[in-house]
Structure 1
Amino acid sequence: MNNQDIDVSGVKILSQNVKIGAHLPMSGGLEQMVNLANALRLEAVQFFSRSPRGGRVRQFGRAEAQQFQQAVQASSLQTLVVHIPYIVNPASPSEQLYHLAEDLVLEDLNRADQLGAHFLVLHPGAYTTSTREEGQQRLIKLINTVLTRFAGETQLLLENISGKGTEIGGSLEELQVIMEHVPASVGLCLDTCHAFAFGYDLSSPEGFDEFSAQLEQTVGWSRVRLVHANDSQGQLGSRVDRHAHIGEGMIGAEGFTRLLHHPLLRKLPFILETPFEGVPADIQRLRELSEG
């Protein structure tokens, strides 16, 4: 995908108080991704450093990584985020899948660090045929094992999920249990669609206030490092993970206005994971709501 595939003419630069970003394709290479981020006037970008479907991974050369970092420094980008492929299950009861996840998380941490990424985002996984408690312990063990073998600066972030089936990490209380047993460097990536789908009402003032208070009492605001800004196609508590364009889903424009004006969230990067053809309009919408 290249810059000509989307119309960025309507994206305006308003206030830079809120850092706006998006998940961008890397199919054209690192340099083209930075060019696209510049065309969209982004302050943050998220990408997969490998195919999200798995398979063999291409290693980055030293010169390639250095050129990428130089391009980033010359751009508007302030925050770089790498997302681990969804196929990774760090809570799996299968020894083979668990050790595969362990190796891949460590490898992606090193790859992200090589590129100068600030964060690596990981889904907590699913316990499948075991129990929720066993899944939590597997995830905790994996994180601690990996971090003892990682000497870089990239921070690992756990993303809250919608809670479908045997997924772990949907509730703030469960995330608190996990966070209490891993290093303080491990943070939370708050996905708005996932939170709403799990049952946290981000669409109403009362619901948002309750969510904010619960977050402070459980995970703690100091652990929140990044926001995935996605509206929700699914109803509140539906456990359906379907992203909608900003203001077109069940959270709505008013819900995102509250999120963007929260004094602590406002300091964090807001990264869109909405359908790509509508990303320029979503960028504009977030900027307008952040100013409203």
Structure 2
Amino acid sequence: MLHIGCHLSSSKGFAAMGRQALELDADTFQFFTRNPRGSKAKDLDPADAAALVSLMEEHSFAPIIAHAPYTLNLCGAEEKNRVFARETMADDLRRMEHVPGQYYNFHPGSHVGQGVETGITLIAEGLNAILTPDQTTTVLLETMAGKGSEVGGRFEELREILDRVELSGKMGVCLDTCHVSDGGYDIIGDLDGVLTEFDRVIGLDRLKAIHLNDSKNPIGARKDRHARIGEGFIGLEALARVVRHPALKDLPFCLETPNELPGYAREIALMRQQAEQLQ
């Protein structure tokens, strides 16, 4: 069975997101832990979090994905920005323990001219300051498109970060289809080859979730502009192969396409239909 959902607003709380996911025929979802362009988080209601846990158990949800704010940069050039990112992520991870066993996804960061190697070092140092042995949340590095000074546009960069994290068992990777295509990986014509390369460099056991997105740009553009399913350069046929692939089919898939809820419902239904078809 395809585990698929979309990005939902957390403004009404945990349980409301779970109910909304069910209305969309989703069995997972993603949400921002706080304002994606800011820093303030709403007060957490433990009873609301417990209600979501019960709903997820009752309806056999796949793990859900909390997404860190875009403003965080563990490898920023200024120390105050790195400290802000570490403190915010540490707070997010404490809050996530109210919904244990889920995923926390973040963009590795931008080295802003310091160089990739320095960026990797700073990201790993930040994670080593944040992760705790008793946390149940798995932290996911997201594959990036490689625009500007982004770290994580190549699998090797993610592997270097993972190798330097002391509590590496608390880490995984989220593969974004738009990002990897924009980054130059040919998931359209050679999905098997891309996954073989991922397995060689990182290991498929590290792959925990998929962001399922089409792209407004051709392969290798390094732009990172998401498109609705079937309306971009990747296309429905290639994305259908992604959800059907035996190495991926049991992972949670999350749509981050430019949609409102009715559009997400249509895409969820479409991809469930595609997943059920024979390869």
Q: How many residues align?
A: 273
CA distance in 1, matches of 2:191, 2:97: 34
Q: Does 1:145 align with 2:129?
A: yes
**Structure 1 partner of 2:169:** 184
**Structure 1 partner of 2:230:** 247
Q: Secondary structure at the match of 2:169?
A: coil
Tell me the alpha carbon deviations over residues 202-242 of structure 1, each in whole angstroms, 9 at most, x when there is no partner: 111xx223212211110110100000000111111111111
Q: Structure 2 regions of 5+ residues with no counterpart? A: none
CA distance in 2, matches of 1:29, 1:245: 26
Deviation at 1:117, TM superposition (A): 5.2
Q: Secondary structure at the match of 1:180?
A: helix
Deviation at 1:99, TM superposition (A): 0.7
**Structure 1 partner of 2:19:** 35
Output aligned runs, 1:108-123, within 5 Å: 108-116=92-100, 118-123=102-107
CA distance in 1, matches of 2:229, 2:153: 21
**Structure 2 partner of 1:82:** 66
Deviation at 1:47, TM superposition (A): 0.5
TM-score (structure 2 length as normaliser): 0.93
The CA RMSD over aligned residues, in Å, is 1.5
**Structure 2 partner of 1:198:** 183
Output aligned runs, 1:57-72, within 5 Å: 57-72=41-56
Deviation at 1:184, TM superposition (A): 2.9
**Structure 2 partner of 1:25:** 9
Tell me the alpha carbon deviations over residues 42-70 of structure 1, each in whole angstroms, 9 at most, x when there is no partner: 11111112111213222213323223323
TM-score (structure 1 length as normaliser): 0.89
Q: Does 1:273 align with 2:256?
A: yes
**Structure 1 partner of 2:242:** 259
The answer on whether the counterparts of 1:81 and 1:117 sit within 8 Å (CA) in structure 2 is no
Of all paired residues, the percent bearing the same amino acid is 36
1:31 alignment partner AA: A
Q: Structure 1 regions of 5+ residues with no counterpart? A: 1-16
Q: Secondary structure at the match of 1:87?
A: coil
**Structure 2 partner of 1:169:** 152
**Structure 2 partner of 1:12:** none
**Structure 2 partner of 1:4:** none
**Structure 2 partner of 1:55:** 39
1:284 alignment partner, one of 269, 276, 279: 269
1:71 alignment partner AA: L
Deviation at 1:270, TM superposition (A): 0.9
The answer on whether the counterparts of 1:41 and 1:76 sit within 8 Å (CA) in structure 2 is no
The answer on whether the counterparts of 1:157 and 1:186 sit within 8 Å (CA) in structure 2 is yes
